[in-house]
Amino acid sequence: MPEVVALDCVVIGGGVIGLAIARELALGGREVVLLEAEGAIGSVTSSRNSEVIHAGLYYATGSLKARLCVAGKRKLYDYCRERRIPHRQCGKLVVASNAQEVAYLQSLLGQAQANDVDDCRLIDGAELGRLEPQIKGFAALVSPSTGIIDSHGLMEAYLTDIEAHGGNVVLNAPVLRGQLFAKGVRLSVGGRDPVEVEARLVVNAAGLEAWSVSAAMEGLDPATIPERHYARGCYFSLRGAAPATRLIYPVPEKGGLGVHLTLDLAGQARFGPDVEWIDKIGYEIDPRRADRFYAVVRKYWPHLPDQALQPAYAGIRPKVVGPQGGGGDFVIQGPATTGHPGYIALYGMESPGLTASMAIAQLVHRLAFDEADSPGNLDKDYHEIA
């Protein structure tokens, strides 16, 4: 029989959100162990994204995505400056390629202002050309507070904070199943050295596998587990110099923000992600998808050369809505929703999860240890966190 280890708090999942949550709990004086199924932190969804610090423009006013993105962005920039994490507040342009799309930009500006993003403005095609001579469009929305970040540097900083405050991260430690009891949770953890863990609090931040982890929890009402959908997005890198100094976004498409131009901290450009709804996890890229990329990118960068794009990587968005369901929101279930005082579950933690990670972590801490809090009381949580 595996030994039984008694713990205070366990976080399942070592992506950027799980690390942020474990950090917040450790900073709050809790005994924390983070269990990661893979052999390294942040090796799945957190390493397969655009590394963008989002401003908070697109999300429905009052949604968790809107509130936690705006609050998290402020915290993240402060943290990056404090810890000297490589980042750049380069700004972005959302480009309307024709007169019909200008109405969307006007609506997006109103959405941004309603979300407390007050630094955006509309510009015409002439000013767009002066800001970014190679980018063409009828008009654009300028978002100065959008940026880019070294996501691995951020996760390493979170890990350093966890360990500096007594927490531990255990790799190659998949959670196989669990049991929910009145005063805690028992987990069966696999890997090279299987172990049984009994914890006062378990936070399921397992990303793509959050649904599977909850489904393996004996005593959890299956009705609390939302729908699961996977949207794969492919990225193609650009051979040659980047055509812009800012991020360039088109008008969004269903399931994503459209094939946009992003930059890494070395100034190299990549394009993506597109949207492909899939039934199982897989990261293969069909090179023929580049054909669609050329057509879409040339709407805002007409001089994209032939044969300039090469497959880079693919990521998968864990979503709670399907192709016809709109953008969807984060689902953060505290004890009042899971029905168990020791179990918190997070689903649909896609973009802007990296940007919002510190605000998400503070909300989870609040839900775990403030009995007055409940999902219906998130307004109080948000305003205090922000």
Which of the listed residues 292, 319, 346 is the one where a domain comes to its end?
Answer: 319
Assess if residue 34 is contained within a domain.
yes
Please write the tens of the pLDDT for every residue from 364-382.
999 998 744 444 444 444 4
The yes-or-no verdict on residue 113 having pLDDT over 80 is: yes
Please write the tens of the pLDDT for every residue from 58-99.
999 999 999 999 999 999 999 999 999 999 999 999 999 999
Asked if 332 and 369 sit in the same domain, the reply is: yes
Rg over alpha carbons for the chain, rounded to the nearest Å, is 21
pLDDT at 257 (0 to 100)? 63
Which of the listed residues 280, 297, 319 is the one where a domain comes to its end?
Answer: 319
Assess if residue 309 is contained within a domain.
yes
Cis peptide upstream of residue 352 (ω within 30 degrees of 0): yes
Kindly report the CATH number assigned to the domain that includes residue 223: 3.50.50.60
Confidence grade of residue 101 (pLDDT, cut at 50, 70, 90): very high
For the entire predicted model, the pTM comes to 0.95
Asked if 159 and 138 sit in the same domain, the reply is: no
Q: How far apart are CA 64 and CA 233, in angstroms?
A: 23
Please write the tens of the pLDDT for every residue from 282-340.
999 999 999 999 999 999 999 999 999 999 999 999 999 999 877 799 999 999 999 99
| Contacts of 275 by beta carbon, 8 Å cutoff, 6+ apart | 231, 232, 233, 253, 254, 255, 256
Asked if 353 and 234 sit in the same domain, the reply is: no
Residue burial 95-112, b: 16+ Cβ < 10 Å; e: rest: bbbeeebbeebeebbebb
Q: How far apart are CA 327 and CA 346, in angstroms?
A: 17
Q: How far apart are CA 334 and CA 203, in angstroms?
A: 9
Asked if 128 and 187 sit in the same domain, the reply is: no
Q: How far apart are CA 334 and CA 364, in angstroms?
A: 7
Phi and psi angles of residue 114, each rounded to the nearest 5 degrees, phi first: -65, -25
Position with higher pLDDT, 374 vs 179: 179
Kindly report the CATH number assigned to the domain that includes residue 124: 3.30.9.10
Asked if 234 and 221 sit in the same domain, the reply is: no
Asked if 292 and 337 sit in the same domain, the reply is: no
Asked if 140 and 233 sit in the same domain, the reply is: yes
The answer to whether 322 and 277 have CB atoms below 8 angstroms apart is yes
216: helix, coil or strand? Answer: coil
- Enclosing domain of residue 35: 4-48+152-227+328-385
The yes-or-no verdict on residue 384 having pLDDT over 90 is: no
Q: How far apart are CA 289 and CA 380, in angstroms?
A: 45
Which of the listed residues 297, 319, 341 is the one where a domain comes to its end?
Answer: 319
Asked if 242 and 302 sit in the same domain, the reply is: yes
Confidence grade of residue 251 (pLDDT, cut at 50, 70, 90): confident
- Bridge-based pairing state of the strands 195-204 and 217-218: unpaired
Q: How far apart are CA 80 and CA 88, in angstroms?
A: 10
Looking at the structure of the chain, the number of domains it has is: 2
pLDDT at 382 (0 to 100)? 43
Asked if 213 and 314 sit in the same domain, the reply is: no
Please write the tens of the pLDDT for every residue from 185-236.
999 999 998 999 999 999 999 999 999 999 999 999 999 999 999 999 999 9
pLDDT at 325 (0 to 100)? 79
The yes-or-no verdict on residue 17 having pLDDT over 60 is: yes
Read off the pLDDT of each residue in 224-251 and give the average, rounded to a whole number: 96
Read off the pLDDT of each residue in 116-140 and give the average, rounded to a whole number: 98
Confidence grade of residue 359 (pLDDT, cut at 50, 70, 90): very high
